[in-house]
Structure 1
Amino acid sequence: MNEFVKKYAVDRYKTNSLKWDALDVRFGDPDLLSMWVADMEFQTSEKVIEAMVERCRHGVFGYSYIPDDYFKAFSHWMEKRHGFPIEKEWVRFSTGVVTTLYWMINAFTKPGDACMILTPVYYPFHNAVKDTKRKLITVDLVNNNGYFTIDFAAVEKAIIENEVKLFIQCSPHNPAGRVWTEEELDKIMGICKKHNVLVVSDEIHQDIIIGDKKFIPAGIVGNGKYRNNLVTVSSASKTFNLAGLLHNHIVICDEKIRERYDEYAKTVNQSEVNVMGATATQAAYTYGEEWLERVLEIVKGNYQYLKEELGKKAPEIVVTTLEGTYLVLLDLRKYINPEDTKIFIQDKCRLAVDFGEWFGANYQGFVRLNLATDPKYVKKAVANIIDEIKRL
Structure 2
Amino acid sequence: MEQEEFISKYAVDRHNTSSLKWDALEERFGNADLTPMWVADMEFKEPKAATEALKKRVENNVYGYSVVPEGYFKTYQAWQKKRHNIRLESEWLLFDNGVVSSLYTLVNTFTQPNDAVLILTPVYYPFHDAIKDNGRRLIASQLVEEDGQFNMDFADIERKIVENDVKLFIQCSPHNPVGRIWTEKELATVLEICRKHHVLVVSDEIHQDIEIGKRKFISALSVEDEKFHNDLIVVTSPSKTFNMAGLLNSHVIIPNEKIREQFKIGKNRFNHTDESILGQIAAEAAYRDGEEWLEAVLEVIRTNYQYVKNQLAANVPEIKVADLQGTYLLWVDLRGLVAPEQVRQFVQDKVGIAVDYGEWFGEDKLGCIRLNLATEPQFIENAVQNIVKFAGQYRK
Q: Give the TM-score range, shorter chain.
A: over 0.9
Structure 1 residues 158-173: aligned runs within 5 Å: 158-173=160-175
| 8 Å contact from structure 2 (residues 106, 266) kept in 1 | no
| Structure 1 residues 358 and 269, CA gap change in structure 2 (3 angstroms) | closer
SS of alignment partner, residue 224 of structure 1 = coil
1:198 is the counterpart of 2:173:
no
User: How far, CA to CA, are the matches of 2:162 and 2:348 in structure 1?
Assistant: 41
SS of alignment partner, residue 220 of structure 1 = coil
SS of alignment partner, residue 392 of structure 2 = helix
User: How far, CA to CA, are the matches of 1:268 and 1:359 in structure 2?
Assistant: 26
Structure 1 residues 172-251: aligned runs within 5 Å: 172-251=174-253
1:22 Cα deviation after fit: 0.1
Q: What amino acid maps onto 1:133 in structure 2?
A: G
1:266 Cα deviation after fit: 2.2
| Aligned mate of 1:378, from 377, 380, 383 | 380
Q: What does residue 49 of structure 2 align with?
A: 47
Q: What amino acid maps onto 1:178 in structure 2?
A: R
1:391 Cα deviation after fit: 2.6
Q: What does residue 318 of structure 2 align with?
A: 316
Q: Percent identity?
A: 53
Q: What does residue 266 of structure 1 align with?
A: 268
Q: What amino acid maps onto 2:22 in structure 1?
A: W
The farther-off stretch of 93-102 and 62-71 is 62-71
User: How far, CA to CA, are the matches of 2:267 and 2:331 in structure 1?
Assistant: 36
| 8 Å contact from structure 2 (residues 105, 271) kept in 1 | no
User: How far, CA to CA, are the matches of 2:75 and 2:271 in structure 1?
Assistant: 25
1:123 is the counterpart of 2:125:
yes
User: How far, CA to CA, are the matches of 1:201 and 1:275 in structure 2?
Assistant: 25
Q: What does residue 40 of structure 2 align with?
A: 38
1:111 is the counterpart of 2:113:
yes
SS of alignment partner, residue 391 of structure 1 = coil
1:25 Cα deviation after fit: 1.0
Q: What does residue 365 of structure 1 align with?
A: 367
| 8 Å contact from structure 2 (residues 69, 281) kept in 1 | no
1:369 Cα deviation after fit: 0.3
Q: What does residue 288 of structure 1 align with?
A: 290
| 8 Å contact from structure 1 (residues 76, 85) kept in 2 | no
SS of alignment partner, residue 206 of structure 1 = coil
The answer for unaligned runs of 5 or more in structure 2 is: none
Deviation readout 1:162-216 (Å, 9 max, x if unpaired): 1100010000000110000000000001101111111000000000000111110
1:102 is the counterpart of 2:104:
yes
User: How far, CA to CA, are the matches of 2:271 and 2:123 in structure 1?
Assistant: 27
1:77 is the counterpart of 2:57:
no
| 8 Å contact from structure 1 (residues 175, 368) kept in 2 | yes
SS of alignment partner, residue 41 of structure 2 = coil
User: How far, CA to CA, are the matches of 2:206 and 2:283 in structure 1?
Assistant: 13
The farther-off stretch of 261-270 and 59-68 is 261-270
User: How far, CA to CA, are the matches of 1:97 and 1:137 in structure 2?
Assistant: 21
| 8 Å contact from structure 2 (residues 36, 353) kept in 1 | yes
User: How far, CA to CA, are the matches of 2:379 and 2:38 in structure 1?
Assistant: 12
The runs of 4+ residues in structure 1 deviating greater than 4 Å are none
Q: What amino acid maps onto 2:389 in structure 1?
A: D
User: How far, CA to CA, are the matches of 1:57 and 1:141 in structure 2?
Assistant: 50
Deviation readout 1:364-388 (Å, 9 max, x if unpaired): 1100000000111000111111111
Q: What does residue 61 of structure 1 align with?
A: 63
1:258 Cα deviation after fit: 0.7
| Aligned mate of 2:30, from 19, 28, 50 | 28
SS of alignment partner, residue 231 of structure 1 = strand
User: How far, CA to CA, are the matches of 1:7 and 1:68 in structure 2?
Assistant: 31
1:144 Cα deviation after fit: 1.3
Q: What does residue 4 of structure 1 align with?
A: 6
Q: What does residue 155 of structure 2 align with?
A: 153
Q: What does residue 338 of structure 1 align with?
A: 340
SS of alignment partner, residue 81 of structure 1 = helix
SS of alignment partner, residue 14 of structure 1 = coil
SS of alignment partner, residue 223 of structure 1 = coil
| 8 Å contact from structure 1 (residues 65, 272) kept in 2 | no
User: How far, CA to CA, are the matches of 2:83 and 2:70 in structure 1?
Assistant: 20
User: How far, CA to CA, are the matches of 1:40 and 1:266 in structure 2?
Assistant: 32
TM-score (norm 2): 0.98
1:273 Cα deviation after fit: 1.4
Deviation readout 1:89-133 (Å, 9 max, x if unpaired): 111111101000000000000000000100010001001100000
| Aligned mate of 1:254, from 256, 278, 281 | 256
| 8 Å contact from structure 2 (residues 54, 278) kept in 1 | yes
User: How far, CA to CA, are the matches of 1:239 and 1:50 in structure 2?
Assistant: 18
User: How far, CA to CA, are the matches of 1:381 and 1:285 in structure 2?
Assistant: 33
Q: What amino acid maps onto 2:332 in structure 1?
A: L
User: How far, CA to CA, are the matches of 2:268 and 2:129 in structure 1?
Assistant: 23
| Total equivalences in the alignment | 392
